[in-house]
Amino acid sequence: MSSTAAAAPPARRTRSRPPSASSRRSDDPSSAANGNGKTSPKLASPKHLPGERTVKKLRLSKALTIPEGTTVYDASRRMAARRVDAVLLTDAQGLLSGIVTDKDISTRVIAEGLRVEQTIMSKIMTRNPTYVTADSLAIEALQKMVQGKFRHLPVVENGEVMAMLDIAKCLYDAIARLEKAAEQGSAIAAAVEGVERQLGGNFTAPYAFIETLRERMFKPSLSTIVTEGTKVAIVSPSDPVYVATQKMREFRVNSVIVTTGNTVQGIFTSKDVLMRVVSQNLSPELTLVEKVMTANPDCATLDTTILDALHIMHDGKFLHIPVLDRGMTQFLSQACEVNSS
């Protein structure tokens, strides 16, 4: 690997190509592996409801754009310097041509044994990524990312790329909507309880029914989306980073859980590969996972509500959380990633 980083040119706005029939889904490894692209949906003018937030009202990150001929190593250094996990690529005309994420670098470069100083970004990028406008509703942007199974969306204004939207930025809106729904369920239950007090009748059965309905509708637990048969990407602390990236590629995930026996020792993500390995010029074959993992990660249980799990991830500023069984003794499933909600 090269030991020096390329000088970073000043940030600039990037013109966007119109979506084409060859558009592929951002952050989707399978889309780069075949030619079956999907046409990006036409961006209709959103119908704003009172209190609903638009994309431009979120805390948007300024997009990092670099030429598509940049090497993976130089791009990784630029991404690490900006603390971003996705970069937009431009062609010779300065038009937006693709997107590369930390997951792409982990699964399409490191896991494949490619040399980062010799591989250029155009070889691994997802071409013509889906985008949203600044006036799109935040919840609609979140739905695009969930349905497309990707975490980043360029934000386009008047044909120019203005910013990058990360799925984490939409967490606040998702949490607020879930909490509002839960409050509405609580209001129904409180109304029934009030009727019970006024009439002096025995409404225990209907009250219990509504309370149970509220819990199941508005506060489902992780057990509703995580099953005991779920396959888990697991590595040991002594495994090299290269093996961890192969696990990510095999399971099509952004992270692996680091365990010793049935005990969770840490978590290692594709962002760690970018920030702590590639950009630091460390060898994926020689660097052990225990040296670059996050030790003792926050965990959830199957009884943790999805809303609480979202809060944990939002407050901790991370996108993965290991889910343990109810006894907290055996690891069951890899992190409930944000886009699983």
Q: Are 138 and 53 in contact (CB under 8 A)?
A: yes
pLDDT (mean) for 38-50: 43
Q: Average per-residue pLDDT in the chain?
A: 76
Structure tokens given for 79: 């991404």
**CA neighbours within 13 Å on the CB side: how many for 341?**
33
Is it true that domain 224-337 has CATH number 3.40.1080.10?
Answer: no
DSSP string computed for 78-114: HHHHHT-SEEEEE-TTSBEEEEEEHHHIIIIIITTT-
The angle formed by the CA atoms of residues 336, 126 and 289, to the nearest 5 degrees, is: 45
CATH architecture of 55-166: Roll (3.10)
Q: What is the pTM of this model?
A: 0.70
Helices (H), the chain: 29-33, 72-82, 102-104, 138-148, 171-199, 204-218, 241-251, 270-272, 289-292, 306-316
Q: Rounded distance, CA 95 to CA 79, Å?
A: 20
pLDDT-derived band at 190 (thresholds 50, 70, 90) equals: low
| pLDDT 10s digits, 89-118 | 999 988 889 999 999 999 999 999 999 999
Tell me whether domains 55-166 and 224-337 share a fold.
yes
Which residue did the predictor score with more confidence, 217 or 132?
Answer: 132
- Domain regions of the chain by residue span: 55-166, 169-220, 224-337
